[in-house]
Structure formats: structure tokens, C-alpha cells
Structure 1
């Protein structure tokens, strides 16, 4: 059967001050009436029931995640004691799924992306699952057709065209490429052979565990020892002990770059990874001067700004351009749009500056 694994990590830096350590962006209502993790779970609901959905999150975010997803069994929301990147997350989830449902297929997806329309996503998920059912050794990833020379994403180079499941082109993966510089990104776009790596994967849980055993045996052994204790009094101690020594590595580097039978679907949906506050310009309808606003905001002779305010807290902007202004709780951010790449470093410095309570 098909299970969903939702990766819900994050340190709450790129959407500060709205996001905090215990409230990363997937727990925020950035777009629409529900939080991003609620939207992610709703997206898979038509084909995957709650009893086959799993969330791997940070230990300090697990309780808030359970509150937001009350329909999910509590033991299927697992908190990691420290961040170890996606290989540990993927491996732990695969081990838990395989123990619960031997031979299961899993779709692994981030908790904080905006994907539209849902039916196109579901068609892609069904196509990928069918590929894996037909060939249990296959690893399927979702490729996003690029519309600009983006330097902030990893890329996938496609190889031979294999088929069209659900009418969606399926290619063999030639290779994965790291985030490129501008000139390389422009070359990727010009060739038409490259996709953005959307970080969504479909595979047999057993197959990814076997691949981790081949390529990262120490990591695989630690994951196995943790998974055997789930649902027992030994679990908290086991996960704390094993995670302290686990290698911190993404699943792309740990497995995907080395695996042989990797496919990529040229998915037909629109995708936004909502990387920082600038993403709101594509997700929130702008006013007549290009401002994207949320909450009680008054703009006068201001343009191309992103302004967010808590309910009951007015933000008024007079005669400013290209700014990001975010008021949330007891903190306010004012930044030029072109400086947002430095926000993470600034937030990480709050504690040493005497503002650790705002993290």
C-alpha cells in the first residue's frame, strides 16, 4: 500500500519573526486558511488515509504538530532530537513504514511547499506509485520544469524518455546537479534537459533502506536500532542516543546520486518551495502598486513591498519601496528585499546579541 512521509523540519529562521524555533514555517498560515503542513496532509488525503501518513519533525515541534494534525495517530508524528538532514529522516520513516506494512511504497514530500492544482499532484503520485509497483527497485523523483535560471535549487538532468504514465513524461535520470552559479543555471535552462529538484520522492520503503545500507551502512544501522524501539519505553532513549552520532547528510548525496535505477517525472503542477518572505509576491495578489500584504496594513505612496502584520497590530508604510516589513508578536523585521539572504545569519545571531527569547 501507499504511505505518505511528510518531512517537517526547520529552524524558523527564514520567516522570522513570524516563524520561531518551535514554530517553523510549516506550522504557519502563510497562504490560505490553513497551515502549510495541514495543506500538505490534505493534498495526499484523497489517495492516502491518515493511518498511512507519517510526519518526521523536530522534537521541540512534535507537540504543536500533533495539535495541528489531530486526525493523525500520535505515534505517527515522530520527533527527532536534533537535525540530521533528510537521509536520517527518510531512513527512519522508511524503517517505521516497513515494520508496519512490509513491502509498502512511500511518497516522501516536504511539509512546506505550495503545489497547485491538487489533481495534477495526485496524478503524478499515482503515476510514480505505478512505476514503483511495476519495478520495486526504481526510485522516482518529481522534476519541476524551470522557468528562470534559478541558482537556489538543485537540478536533475534527464536522460532517455521511458513512458507516459497518467500522461506524464517519465525519463531516466542522467545525474543530479548541485545549486549552480548564474551562468550554469542559464545553460541548464537553455538546454531544456534540466528540471528543478522538488525534493519529492516515491520508492519502496525496503528499497531505500537497502540503498542506505549499501551507501551509508553506519547511518542505516542507527536507524534500524531506533525503529525497533518505536512504541516501547526504550524509544526516547534510543532515538536520543543514536541521533547524537548519526551522519548529517541529505538523501540526494547519501543515495540518489549513487543509485542506478532513478526516474524523473516531468510533473504538470505549479510548485513553490516558499523559501523566504519574497515568495509571497507570487502567492498573494498584489495591490495596484505591487505590494503583497497580509493582516492590517496601510500603505501610502509605497510600492513593491511585502508587509505582514498580526491581527490587531496595524503596520503603516509611508513612502517606502522594495521593503519587507513583518510584525509578529514582540518582534518586527524591516529589511530590503535584496538583503533577505542574510536573514538566517541575523536570526542566528539574536542569542549572542541578547535576544535569545525571540528565537
Structure 2
């Protein structure tokens, strides 16, 4: 059967001050009223029912996740006791799903992406399921046709075509490329043979577990032991002990860069990883001055700004342009647009003195 796994354990430091330790990015809304986590669950619900959906998050966020997704079974909301990156997260989800459905096919999705139109995503997901059943030894990832030479995304070098289902084309992967320099990114886009790595995957549970076992047996064995103890009184003790001993690593580094059979599906939908506050511009309307505003704002001679204000507060601007101004509780961020990618530096500084604001 087809199962969904949502990875919702990230911290979202690039979205400070809205994203905090107590309420990270995936629990925030950026376009409409639904949070990113809810939007991700909504997106896959037309393809996979909630009873076959799993959410892997941090132990501190299980209650929030379950509250936002009441339709997902509570025992499918899994809280990692330690943050260990995406490879252990994937292994854990696959081991838990395979325990009850050894022949399961899984779509793995980050909780913090925006995708439109929904129908195109559904078409692509169903095509990926077909491909996974036809090529059960392959690992599939969705590639996004690049619209500009981004230096913020990893790239996938597309190889020879391998088929088409539901109008969705799949090719073998030649190589995964890390985030490139500007010149290299321009070469990638100009060649027409590269796609952005979206971090959305489809595979058979047994296949990804086999590949993790081959590359990181420590992660595989720990997660299999956790799954074996899942329905026993010792679950929490085993979970904590085994997970603490794991050395964190991403699924890209652990498996995808070296797996023997990797395939990339060319995504037919529009995708945004909501990687910075400038995403508000891409998904919300602008006023006459080109400003994107959420909340109460009074502006005079204000142009091209991104402004987000919580209820009960007012932001007033005079004679400014191209700023990012984000108010959240007891903290406000003001940055030039060109510097908003450096928000993590603020977070790092606060870790040295000012943790009450994190």
C-alpha cells in the first residue's frame, strides 16, 4: 500500500523571530490560514488517507503536531528524542511502516514546502507510486525544473529517460550536486540537464531500509530495534537509548549520493521550499508600493518591503525601501532584503547571550 511520511522536525532558524524553539517554522502559516504542516497533510490526503500518514517530528512538538492534524492517528505522530537529521528520520519512519506493511511504498515529504497546483502534485505522486512498483529496487526523488540559477539549492544531473506515467517523466540520475557557485548554477540551468533537488522522495520501504543498512548499518539497526519495541512497555526507553547513540546525517549524504539505482521524476508542479522571509512576496499580494504586508501597517514613501506584524501591534514606516520587518512577540527583525539570508547569524548571536528570545 501507499503510505505518507511527513518530516516535521526542523528548527526553521531562518524565520526568526516568528520561528522559535517553542514553535518552529512548520507550525506557522505563510499563505492562507493553514500552517505549513497542515498544508502538507492536506496536499497528500487526496492520494493517501490519514490512517496511512505518519509525522516524524521532535519530541517537544508531538502535541502541537497532533493538535494541528487531528485526522492523523495519534500513534502515527512520532517524536524523536534527539535531532539527528533526515537519514535516521527516514529509517525510523520506514521501519515503523514496514513493521505492519512489509511491501509498503512511501512518499517522504518535508513539512515546510508550498506546492501548486494540488492536482498536479497528486498526478505526480500517483505516477511515482507506479514507478516504485515497476522498479522496486530504485530510489525516486522529485526534481524541480529550475526557473533561475539558484545557489541555494542542490541540483540533480538528469541522465537517460526511463519512462513516463500519467504524463510524468522519469530519468536515471547521473549525479547529485551540492549547492553551486553562481557561475556553476548558470551552467547547470543553461544545459537543460539539471533540476533542483526538492527533498521529496518515493521508494519501497524495504528498498530504502536495505540501502541504509548498506551505507549506515548503525542507523538501520537502531531503527529496526526501535520498531521492534514499538508496541512494548519498553518503547520509550529503547527509543531514547538507540536514538541518542546515532550520529546524525542527511539522507542525501547517507544514501542518495551513492545508491546504485536512483531516478528523478520531473515535477509538473510549482514548488517553493519557503526558505526565507522573501517567500511571503511570492505567495501573497503586494500593495501599490510593492510591499507585502501581513498585519497592521502604516507606510509613507515605503516601497518593496516585506512586513509581518502580529495582532495587537502596528508597524509604521517612513521613507524606507527593500526592507524585511518582522515583529513577533518580544522581538522584531529589521534587515535589508539582500541580507535576509543572514538571519541565522542573529540566531547564533542570541545563543551566546539572549536565549530567552529563541
Partner SS, residue 317 of structure 2:
strand
Which residue in the other structure is 1:356 paired with? 355
Partner of 2:185: 185
Q: Deviations for 1:43-99, whole angstroms, at most 9, x for unmatched residues? A: 011111111000001111111111111111111111112211110000000000000
Residue 211 in structure 1 maps to residue 211 in structure 2? yes
Q: Which secondary structure state, in structure 2, belongs to the residue aligned with residue 109 of structure 1?
A: strand
The alignment's TM-score, normalised by the length of structure 2, stands at 0.98
1:265 equivalenced with 2:272 (yes/no): no
CA RMSD of aligned residues (A): 1.1
1:319, CA displacement in angstroms? 1.0
Q: d(CA) in 1 for partners of 2:71 and 2:120?
A: 25
TM-aligned CA deviation for residue 351 of structure 1 = 3.6
Q: Secondary structure at the match of 1:350?
A: helix
Q: Distance in 2 between matches of 1:348 and 1:81?
A: 23
Q: Distance in 2 between matches of 1:288 and 1:163?
A: 47
Runs ≥4 in structure 1, deviation > 3 angstroms?
none
1:135-155 deviation digits (Å, cap 9, x = unpaired): 211211100000111011000
Paired residue secondary structure (1:107): strand
1:101 CA drift (Å): 1.4
Q: Which residue of 1 aligns with 2:60?
A: 60
Aligned equivalents of 2:63, 2:15: Cα separation in 1: 20
Separation in structure 2 between the aligned mates of residue 243 and residue 340 of structure 1, nearest angstrom: 34
Superposed, 1:159-170 pairs within 5 Å as 159-170=159-170
Please tell me whether residue 347 in structure 1 is matched to residue 353 in structure 2.
Answer: no
Could you say which residue in structure 2 is the equivalent of 1:324?
324
Aligned to 1:46: 46
Residues 13, 348 of structure 1: 8 Å contact kept: no
Q: Does 1:314 align with 2:318?
A: no
Contact 1:75 1:231 (8 Å CA) reproduced: no
Cα shift at 1:352: 2.3
Tell me if 1:35 matches 2:35. yes
Name the CA distance, whole Å, in 2 between partners of 1:270 and 1:160: 24
2:303 corresponds to which residue? 303
SS in 2 for 1:147: coil
> How far apart in 2 are the matches of 1:175 and 1:241?
36
1:69 equivalent in structure 2: 69
- SS of the counterpart of 1:349? helix
CA distance in 1, matches of 2:72, 2:331: 33
> Secondary structure at 2:350's aligned position in 1?
coil
- Are the equivalent residues in 2 in contact too, given 1:12–1:23 (CA < 8 A)? no
Output one character per residue of 1:219-253: Cα deviation in whole Å (capped at 9) or x when no partner. 11111111112233322222221222212111111
Residue 218 of structure 1 and its aligned partner are, at CA, apart by 1.2
In structure 2, how many angstroms separate the alpha carbons of the residues matched to 1:271 and 1:166?
19
Give the secondary-structure state (helix, strand or coil) at the position aligned to 2:4.
strand
Tell me the matched-pair count: 358
- Which residue number corresponds to residue 140 of structure 1? 140
Partner of 1:149: 149
SS of 1:4's equivalent in the other structure is strand
Q: Using the alignment, how far apart are the partners of 2:272 and 2:50 within structure 1?
A: 25
Normalised by the length of structure 1, the TM-score is 0.97
Residues 12 and 22, structure 1, Cα contact 8 Å, conserved in 2: no
Instruction: Report how far residue 295 of structure 1 moved.
Output: 1.1
* CA distance in structure 2 between the aligned counterparts of 1:351 and 1:183, rounded to whole angstroms: 34
For the residue of structure 2 that corresponds to 1:14, the secondary structure is helix
What does 1:269-288 align with in structure 2 at a 5 Å threshold?
269-288=269-288
Contact 1:216–1:254, Cα closer than 8 Å, also in 2: yes
1:230 and 1:318 map into 2 onto residues whose CA distance is: 58
Between 1:92-101 and 1:236-245, the stretch displaced more is 236-245
Cα offset, 1:263, TM superposition: 1.0
Hey, what's the Cα distance between the residues in 2 that align with 1:147 and 1:162?
24
What is the distance in 2 between the residues matched to 1:57 and 1:236?
Answer: 15
SS in 1 for 2:344: helix
